[in-house]
C-alpha cells in the first residue's frame, strides 16, 4: 500500500519536473534546429537542480516498481 502511494506521489512530481524543463523553443527543436548559435549550453542554478532531481526520482520510481514486482 505504501509503495503504491509513493509511486503516485513520485509520478506527479516527475510530471511537474519534466514539464519545467525547457530545452528548445518551438517545433524546430524537435528536428534538431535551434534559433541560437550555441552548440552546447551548460545547466546552471535551478535548471541543474531540476535536471538532477528528475534523474534521482526516476531511479527511485524504478526501484519502487521493482520492489512492488517482487513483493
> How many domains is the chain partitioned into structurally?
1
Whether residue 57 is contained in a domain is answered as yes
Residue 63: domain span: 1-20+43-71
Q: Indicate whether 2 pLDDT > 80.
A: yes
Cβ neighbours of residue 65 under 8 Å, at least 6 residues apart? Answer: 7
With respect to residue 38, please indicate whether it lies within any of the assigned structural domains: no
Mean pLDDT, all residues of the chain: 82
Is there a contact between 61 and 7 (Cβ–Cβ < 8 Å)? Answer: yes
pTM, 2 dp: 0.72
Quick one: average pLDDT of 31-45? 63
| Residue 28 included in any domain | no
Residue 28 clears pLDDT 50, i.e. is over it: no
* Least confident range of 10-14, 16-20, 35-39, 63-67: 35-39
Q: In the prediction, which pLDDT does 4 show?
A: 94
Amino acid at each position: 500500500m505504501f509503495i503504491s502511494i509513493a509511486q503516485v506521489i513520485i509520478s506527479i512530481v516527475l510530471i511537474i519536473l519534466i514539464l519545467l524543463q525547457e530545452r528548445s523553443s518551438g517545433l524546430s527543436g524537435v528536428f534538431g534546429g535551434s534559433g541560437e548559435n550555441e552548440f552546447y549550453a551548460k545547466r546552471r542554478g535551478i535548471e541543474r537542480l531540476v535536471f538532477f532531481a528528475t534523474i534521482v526520482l526516476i531511479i527511485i520510481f524504478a526501484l519502487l516498481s521493482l520492489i512492488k514486482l517482487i513483493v
